[in-house]
Structure formats: C-alpha cells, structure tokens
Chains A and B, each alone.
Chain A
Amino acid sequence: MKIEMKGINKSFGTNQVLKNAGFVLEDGEVHALMGENGAGKSTLMKILTGVYTRDDGTVIVDGEEVVYKSPQEAEKAGIVFIYQEINSLFDMTVEENLFMGKEITKGFGIVDKKAMRAKAQEVMDKMGVSIPVDAVMGELSVGQQQMVEICKALMVDAKVIIMDEPTAALTQSETEGLFEVIESLRKKGVSIVYISHRMEEIFELCDRITILRDGTYIDTKYIKDITMDDVVQMMIGREIGERFPKRDVKIGDEVLRVEGLTKNKVFHDVCFSVRAGEVLGVSGLMGAGRTEIMQSIFGNLSRESGKIFIDGEEVTIKNPRQAIAAGIGFVTEDRKTEGLLLEKSIAENIEIANLKKVSSKGVLNKKKQDEIVKQGIEEFRVKCFGPWHECNNLSGGNQQKVVLAKWIYTDPKILILDEPTRGVDIGAKKEIYDVINQLAAKGVAVIMVSSELPEVLGMSDRIMVVHEGTVTGIIDAADADQAKVMTLATGGSL
C-alpha cells in the first residue's frame, strides 16, 4: 500500500501543531518518522488513521484521495496504529483483549473460546513470545503488555502498521523478536511506519527516514545515505555537540553501601556501593529486578534482609520518608503514575517534595514557594506557560525535568534515577544528561538504571549488571562495551 500525505495542517484551538506536514510511504518499506516530542509525528499519524480530522491537505492511498472518519474505518482499509500508551483492559485476559470487539462466535453471540485461544496462540508463536493467553493483562509486565498490543495489530490483516515507540518498554530479547516480526512483515509487502527516539534501532531496522520539526516536514532520506548526527541536526535544527557530554569530576568518598539485600524470588544478596560524584549505571534485562532493588533501597518495597549504610553508618529505611530523611531521592521509572501529580501544576509538583522548605510551622510561604518554583523552571529550562501550567499538558521531556527539579531541591546525597530518559526526545535527553553531570559535580552519588545500553555506557563511571535478581558483575565503564554488558545481563560471565 502506498500512502502519500501532503500539505497537512492541523490546529488545536490557537495552537497550530502541523504546518505543511507530510510524507510518502512506499509498499513494503520500513519508514522511520523522527522528530522531537511535539514535532507532530503522532498527530500526523492520528490524522492518517482518522483519530483527528485535518484542517487542510491531502491524503492519497494507492492513488485515491481518502478521508478516514474513524480508526475503525482506517483499520478496515488495512491501516493499523499501535499506540504508545497501552490501551488494554487490565482486568481481562490476554485472549479477551486480543479479540475485543472482534470475537469469534458460534452464532447468537456465543463466543468460541477454543477457536480464539488457538488463533491467539498462533499469533503469539509467530511473534516468538511466550505469554499465556489466559493470563490476566494487568498481571503482565509492561513489556509483555506491549507485545500483546502488537499481537492485536497482527490479528487483523494489516497492510500498513504504525508503531509509536514500540520498544520503549521491551527487553532486548523481546525487541529482537519484534524486529524479526517486522522483517517478515516487510517481506510480505506490509509497510511499517516506525516512530522511535532510539537512533540505533532506526539505523538497524529502517529503509528510509522522514524528519519533522515543529510540525513541519523537513526531509526524507535513505538511511544508508546519512549519519546519526545528520538526523539529530535535522531534528533540532542546530548542532547539539556530543550526545553524551563528558564530565570531569573528582570522585570522593563512599556515600551509599548496600550489603546482602535480599527479597525472596525477586533479588538475592545484592551488594554494591556508590561514591560521591560517581554515576553508577545499572543495566539488565526487563524484569531482572533492577527497579525492585532500587524501590527496596528507597523503602517502597519490603525485603527479607540486607543492610544499607550511608556515609558509613547503618540506616533503617522502611518507608520513603525515612529514605528521604537519610538523603535519598528517587526519580521513578513511570513518571505518569508515580513521578508526577499529573493533574496538578508544575509549582504544586515541585512544592510537594519540598514542603518543609516552602513553609514555616506548617503554613505555606508564598515568597519561598515562588522562589523555588521559579528557580526550578529556569534552571531546568522547563518549556511551559508558567508555574501554574498543568503537568498533563507538558511533553515527556519537560515532565521529566519537573520530576528532576522537585528532587534536586531536597538536596539529596544520593539520587536514584530509574529510566530517566524514557520517552524523552533527543534535545531534552541531552539536558537531562547535563543535569546528571552537574549533580555529580556537586558531589551527589548518582545511580542510573537504564535499558538503553548506549546511555549506560556513555554516562556511567561504573556499570552494575543485574541478571534474575543477582548482580552478575560491576565493571568500569572504561573497560565496558555492549557485548560485555549483554553477556552479564543474560547470565554469562566474562
């Protein structure tokens, strides 16, 4: 199926999000759509699939101009959109989710469970994933849920599949599985639109790339003709310098030491330490227990045994309040459900973590409030209309900056960052890296959990690798490469 979108304009209220945007998708190609958050990639795709109506412009599918009025209509024409946000019914089973609205029946509305199970299993096998079809959706990991979403798209006979950040929550092996599926789809003549911030994936997978900036079409190139730096430059319209800025920090004394941290069946005998000014990268596959270890150190997850020492003294941490009092800050993996009060303003989000600082004797002090919030917005360059701007309406990168800002004013000695750049565009990523470097320079001990290997390798002083709840190695970043980390992450030894 060939799709041509030309001169697309779209405004929401007074805010024009697409200005002369468009792209051309050829039969059986994998086409990357790149741009910073807010560049209009998702909006453009939502216009194609009938989620939004366009103000202006033409969409030509196989030589005919079309207007799909709803996603269902686009789906009937063979165009399927796999959203970034998981759109599942969490209380229902995998199979029920896969067939929602298109159940196989024996007639009279009686569902044919056997047939659906068989079909679901077939699709799962084709994808090379082993998720039980009768598992309850809400009990699966985020990665597994995403895989189910992808399977859902494969259930219909799609000619064009649009994937928005499909690998954001997938493990390495799941990602490889997905790539194989994409490869086989391409061979069958299915076209794929691939939206991702992960440059490495795009260069591995895609044939061509179209770049959008501020809602405008910039250029389309063959992947083989360009470099990653070219792409970044086209995306942000300027050079940003090195992707992982170097820092020159003198590493100080040990700040945090963890000994024998154990939680039955989740993690076992975890021992490590971090020093002042050091960045400890934590790598491992999805579900290896990295997040759980960090949650436990922060007192948000109970454990059977283990000791935590801060500045050489043992501390008791049973809840987040004790952790914060001990000088730990924690930027959680999921900023939407755990990191932010989404429906609240930037100011309220920064203040809630710093209530003692902005009040005296329990009464809020307007001057102190304004001061800290203004500083946060300026220092972190949060793009917003003002302190009262609701976090819901910020881009991912700006949301993450608010989360960082709220922690930094608590003056932590140790800052744990769990997937700090997930779903964040390249420009904002760089700014987050800069913040991490500034913190390290101030003598904060930073722990950065990340699933992006280039980021771990580029930002860390040392890298701790976790496999099935056990630390399989802690290596100096200078000696590390992707192969070594992956070997440890899959349970091998060096």
Chain B
Amino acid sequence: MEKNKKSIGAFIGEYGAFLALVLLVIVISCVSPEFRTASNFLNLLRQASFNGLIAFGMTCVILSDGIDLSVGSTFALSAIICAELIMDGVPAGLAILISLLAGTALGVVSGVLVTKGRLQPFIATLITMTAYRGLALIITNGKPISRLASSIESESGSFLFKVLGKGNLVFGPNEMFSIPIPAIILVVALLIFYFVLHHTTFGRRIYATGSNAKCANLVGVNTTGVKISVYAISGFMSALAGLIMISRVDSAQPTLGEGYELDAIAAVALGGTSMSGGRGKIVGTLAGVLIIAVLNNGLNILGVSTYYQEVIKAIVILVAVLSDRKR
C-alpha cells in the first residue's frame, strides 16, 4: 500500500470532477462547432467567474463545517452599496473599497451568529440572507440603479470601474490574445486560495476546525476565530463578485444574485468537498464551477430548452456526487 501507487479507482475519485469536465467539453465540442471556439471559451470563463469567486469563499466555509446561504444577498447588498456611493459622487476606488469591506463585515455578522450566537450555520445564514436582501430592497426602494460608469466623474475612476467586469488583458503580437479581466481575477483568486489552504497555518486551522472542532480547540486552535474568518472571506468574495457583475452590466439592482448560493454550493459539492467539513480541495471547486459553466453555456448554444437544462444539470450533479462517494 504505497501512496504513489494509487489504484485507478482512487485516481478517478481524486480527479473525478476534472474527468467529468473534460468529458463534457469533448462531447459538447463534438456536437457544436460554435461551442469549441476560443472566444466562446473566454466568454465561458467570464461567466464562470462570478460563481467561481463565490464558490471559493464557500469552499472555506464548508471546509470549516459550515454553510453560507447569504452569499447571493451579500453579493447584491454590497453591489448596491457601491452603486449608491458612486451615485453620491464618492470616488470609484473608494466606493469599491468600502463595498468590499462591507461584504466582509456582512460575512462577519454571519460568523458571529454562528459562533457567539450558537446558531446552526444553516439557520444563521438563512437569517442574514433574508435580512441582507431586505436591506438591499430598502436602500434602493426596490428600484435598479443604472448608468453607473457615466456617473463617475474622474476618468481614471470610470476606467477602474469598467475594467473590473468588461476589461480584457490584451497582449501578444498583433494583440492576438485577449483575456477577460474577471477570468484573470478568478485565476489569481484560485492561486491565493490554494496557497492559503494548503501552505499556511491558517489553512490547517480551517481543515482542523471542520474535521473536529472539539479536538482542534483543545490543541489551541481558536475555532471561533477561524469560523468568523471563513464567513468574512465568503462575504469578501461575494462582494468582489458583485462588483464585477455591476461593472459588467453597468447597473445594480436589489434582486442581483438570487439563487447564487445554490450554484456555489453545487460547485463545491461537485468538487468533492465533504459537506461535513474537513475534506476537500479548492481545485475541485474550480472543476465544479467549470462544469456548471460548461453545462449552462453548452446547453444554451445547443438550444436545449431551459426547462430541460435544469433537469440535465441535476443529473450531472447527482452522478458526480455519487461517483465521488465510492472512494
């Protein structure tokens, strides 16, 4: 029983999500020439970035044996805060910063409810999910805020705001490569999360807390602190995704991000992270995010009715999660 001599079964177990992703891409590529273009893949990455960023934060929360249902509402509320500040003439850079801090603070509230309030994560974040959505509606009076970019006075501020969601990194001879900024943010976030989870003491503490909080606490891990931190991270990531979204559509509305929590949880589950915490990998979550994005994008291109899309997505998730369990 050597570690590096793993069976094929174990290999599939470990990289099942990636195998499923590759398989999906190959199948859809064969059927649809439209799908297999470079511009579509880049578009797909851009579409995946929202769910990806949120799912990375969600991975940390789930690894610590929690769950965060409030991500969609946090996404909306922090985006609204940014939009309102911009409309009030606050410089774009500052508005973005405040929005990110607000998202983090909203996450902290969930974390405090879970730890100090001793509420079950599901209930605690159900409460914050409802409350944040309500606040977003109150602030906007239920109306969308539009034409954000043109409301920013300074040119650099306007550029900064636009580049988040719409920008492309262009390079190469004759500018032949053009990569969407959201995709780049997604990749950078992936690298940071990978490093934090696998190479830092904080990462270890997250896994230990999710694996056995009692034991972790007894060896000196501040499990309360860890739990509050992961919700804060989740809040920050939701806010970041929200900013990219309003930059892209140039407007903010209080109903943004409804149902995003379920896509994020689905991506984490697809990636093989244990719902009871302690086990899982961030690259798995990336695979999960891409599977969902490929399905959405591919089925749309193939012209599959949205009603059937939902059922197909459900089946893919079911198969992936079942095969993961056989490990």
Residues of A within 8 A of B (CB): 14, 298, 300, 319-321, 324-325, 330, 332, 337-344, 348, 351-353, 355-356, 359, 362-364, 385-386, 388, 406
Chain B residues within 8 Å of A356, by CB: 201
Chain B residues within 8 Å of A14, by CB: 1
Are A364 and B199 in contact (CB-based, < 8 A)?
yes
Are A362 and B208 in contact (CB-based, < 8 A)?
no
Given contacts A341-B208, A341-B278, A362-B202, contact A321 B214 (CB under 8 A): no
Chain B residues within 8 Å of A364, by CB: 199-201, 203-204
Chain B residues within 8 Å of A324, by CB: 219-220
Are A352 and B202 in contact (CB-based, < 8 A)?
no
Are A337 and B3 in contact (CB-based, < 8 A)?
no
Chain A residues within 8 Å of B221, by CB: 352
Are B219 and A353 in contact (CB-based, < 8 A)?
yes
Chain A residues within 8 Å of B1, by CB: 14, 385
Q: Does B141 contact A (CB under 8 A)?
A: no
Are A321 and B201 in contact (CB-based, < 8 A)?
no
Give per-residue flags for B15-53: 1 if the beta carbon is below 8 A from chain A beta carbons, else 0: 000000000000000000000000000000000000000
- Nearest A residue (CB) for B212: A341
Residues of B within 8 A of A (CB): 1, 3, 199-205, 207-208, 211-212, 214-222, 278-279
Report the minimum CB–CB distance from B115 to chain A (whole Å): 13
Report the minimum CB–CB distance from B5 to chain A (whole Å): 12
Are A300 and B200 in contact (CB-based, < 8 A)?
no
- Nearest A residue (CB) for B224: A319
Distance between Cα atoms of A14 and B279 in the complex (Å) = 26
Given contacts A338-B214, A348-B207, A352-B204, contact A343 B220 (CB under 8 A): no
Are B211 and A344 in contact (CB-based, < 8 A)?
yes
Report the minimum CB–CB distance from A100 to chain B (whole Å): 25
Q: List 27 A-B contacts (CB under 8 A).
A: A14-B1, A298-B218, A300-B218, A319-B217, A320-B217, A320-B218, A321-B222, A325-B220, A330-B218, A338-B212, A341-B212, A341-B216, A341-B278, A343-B211, A343-B279, A344-B208, A351-B204, A352-B216, A353-B219, A355-B204, A355-B205, A362-B200, A362-B201, A363-B199, A363-B200, A363-B201, A385-B1
Given contacts A341-B211, A363-B199, A388-B3, contact A320 B219 (CB under 8 A): yes
Chain B residues within 8 Å of A388, by CB: 3
Are B218 and A338 in contact (CB-based, < 8 A)?
yes
Are A340 and B218 in contact (CB-based, < 8 A)?
no
Chain B residues within 8 Å of A298, by CB: 218
Chain A residues within 8 Å of B211, by CB: 341-344
Distance between Cα atoms of A423 and B191 in the complex (Å) = 44
Report the minimum CB–CB distance from B276 to chain A (whole Å): 10
Distance between Cα atoms of A324 and B216 in the complex (Å) = 13
Distance between Cα atoms of A343 and B219 in the complex (Å) = 16
Report the minimum CB–CB distance from B145 to chain A (whole Å): 40
Beyond A344-B211, A352-B204, A362-B200, 14 additional contacts (C-beta under 8 Å) are A298-B218, A337-B212, A341-B278, A348-B204, A348-B208, A352-B205, A353-B219, A353-B220, A355-B205, A356-B201, A363-B200, A363-B201, A364-B204, A385-B1
Distance between Cα atoms of A353 and B215 in the complex (Å) = 10
Chain A residues within 8 Å of B3, by CB: 385-386, 388
- Nearest B residue (CB) for A298: B218
Report the minimum CB–CB distance from A323 to chain B (whole Å): 8
Sort A-B residue pairs by CB-CB distance and give the 4 closest, nearest first. A353-B219, A341-B211, A355-B201, A324-B220
- Nearest A residue (CB) for B1: A385
Report the minimum CB–CB distance from B7 to chain A (whole Å): 11
